[in-house]
Amino acid sequence: MLNILKDSLIYIISPQTRTGGPESLHQLAAELKKMGFQAKIIYIKYKLLKNTKFVEVEIVQREGNGVFSDTYDFDCTSEIEDQEKNVLVIPEFSGTHLLFDRYPKIQKIMWWLSVNNHFKIPSKKYKFHENNHVIYAYNAYYVRDFILNNKVEKLCSLTTPISDIFFEEFDMQKEDIVLYNPRKGGESFAKFFIKHSPDLKWVSLKSLSRQELVNLMRKSKVYVDFGAFPGKDRMPREAVLSKCCLVLGLKGASRLFEDFPIPIEYKFKEEWFKGYDVQSILRKIRECINCYEEKKNDFSYFRRRLLSNKQQFPIEVQALFSFPDS
């Protein structure tokens, strides 16, 4: 689908934040560099258009090391050469598609890391039917289904990888800890559950270093997530590799077994007007705590699949960006 030459430049657009989506973009840049491609991260920021509610995207003139430079090996730039041999990779984040209009010659990939983030920030509406030349990469079946509904012509899988540290063997005593991500479901949601379960030890995954997050997951028994699941979220997968039981909301990508292959009894639906069945959820969490050695086996299939798919990312990167003679 791409015409990659030995001197092609690959530009990867990313916000300057240390969250899951930008980490995936930096992992792509690092993987391409390791494979011998000339790939560079370009940072962007949003600027509100005067007298409107819409935003435009600006390229950041960044000095010094890039975001995630302490974790991955990649290069940065702030200049794009608009040539047919080069490639521009943008995430689906709101407004990033505006860059397509500024660089008409360059080959284009839109990597859909989620669905919801595309609609968060007001900007000029993206029209699939006017961009048949764009290659659409997806990281989850939930995302793929959304893209297919827009009748695109060029589609490929590009999974979001998990850091190697989560694949390392560990021997740590599990404790009766329930983890939750305050960004996924909100602090108020978590406080409501905590209020109804004084017997449980809830710990927030907030403001942690990578090593602190790893250590906390390895010693905890349960990870709870009632976010929107706009794609194949990173933390539930990291928690499973850390041998945590999962209790999830039945939304977005979590509805699909292909994206989150765990028994349905660990996925809870939010009923219209009623909300979640709090007591049923707390009962399931307590089962995971009290019968951990038994319940952890319900997540063995998901864990095995993540382990076997560790090499999926470099294989897909190589397939998408391969030279014509490779």
Residues 199 and 289 in one domain: yes
Residues 304 and 314 in one domain: no
Helical residues (DSSP H) of 129-233, grouped into ranges = 141-148, 187-195, 210-219
Taking only the tens of pLDDT, the chain with its 326 residues reads 899 999 999 999 999 988 888 999 999 999 999 999 999 999 998 776 666 666 678 888 876 678 899 889 999 999 999 999 999 999 988 778 888 889 999 999 999 998 876 666 545 677 787 788 999 999 999 999 999 998 888 999 999 999 999 999 999 999 999 999 887 655 667 788 888 899 999 999 988 988 999 999 999 999 999 888 989 999 999 999 999 999 999 999 999 999 999 999 999 987 755 667 888 999 999 999 999 999 999 999 999 999 988 889 999 999 999 866 65
Give the per-residue pLDDT at 227: 87
In whole angstroms, what separates CA 167 from the centre of its chain? 17
Give the per-residue pLDDT at 184: 62
Domain limits at 17? 9-161+310-320
Q: What is the number of other CB atoms lying within 10 angstroms of the CB of residue 124?
A: 13
Give the per-residue pLDDT at 183: 77
Residues 143 and 182 in one domain: no
Please compute Rg for the chain using Cα positions: 21
Using a 10 angstrom Cβ sphere, with 0-12 exposed, 13-18 middle and 19 or more buried, the burial of residue 208 is: middle
Residues 23 and 154 in one domain: yes
Give the per-residue pLDDT at 178: 97
Residue 31 in any domain: the answer is: yes
Using a 10 angstrom Cβ sphere, with 0-12 exposed, 13-18 middle and 19 or more buried, the burial of residue 201 is: middle
Residues 147 and 256 in one domain: no
Residues 6 or more apart from 152 whose CB is under 8 A from it? 128, 132, 134, 136
Residues 220 and 103 in one domain: no
Length of the chain: 326
Domain of 124, CATH number, reads 3.40.50
Residues 6 or more apart from 76 whose CB is under 8 A from it? 40, 41, 42, 43, 62, 66
Q: What is the number of other CB atoms lying within 10 angstroms of the CB of residue 2?
A: 19
DSSP state letter for 20: H
Give the per-residue pLDDT at 268: 92
Residues 117 and 211 in one domain: no
Give the per-residue pLDDT at 182: 82
Residue 4 in any domain: the answer is: no
Give the per-residue pLDDT at 167: 94
Q: What is the number of other CB atoms lying within 10 angstroms of the CB of residue 54?
A: 12
Give the per-residue pLDDT at 127: 79
First-to-last alpha carbon distance for the chain, in angstroms, is 14
Structurally, the chain folds into a number of domains equal to: 2
Domain of 176, CATH number, reads 3.40.50.2000
Give the per-residue pLDDT at 46: 79
Residue 52 in any domain: the answer is: yes
Residues 152 and 206 in one domain: no
Residues 6 or more apart from 93 whose CB is under 8 A from it? 15, 21, 117, 118, 120, 121
Residue 325 in any domain: the answer is: no
Residues 157 and 286 in one domain: no
d(CA 117, CA 177): 31
Residues 192 and 48 in one domain: no
Residue 326 in any domain: the answer is: no
Residue 3 in any domain: the answer is: no
Residues 155 and 266 in one domain: no
Reference 254, options 244, 269, 272; nearest CA is: 269
Structure tokens at 200: 């449980």
The CA-CA-CA angle for residues 40, 44, 49, to 5°, reads 155
Residues 178 and 72 in one domain: no
Give the per-residue pLDDT at 52: 63
d(CA 106, CA 18): 28
Residue 23 in any domain: the answer is: yes
d(CA 237, CA 184): 14
Give the per-residue pLDDT at 45: 87
Residue 2 in any domain: the answer is: no
Residues 6 or more apart from 142 whose CB is under 8 A from it? 115, 229, 231, 232, 252, 253, 255, 256, 259
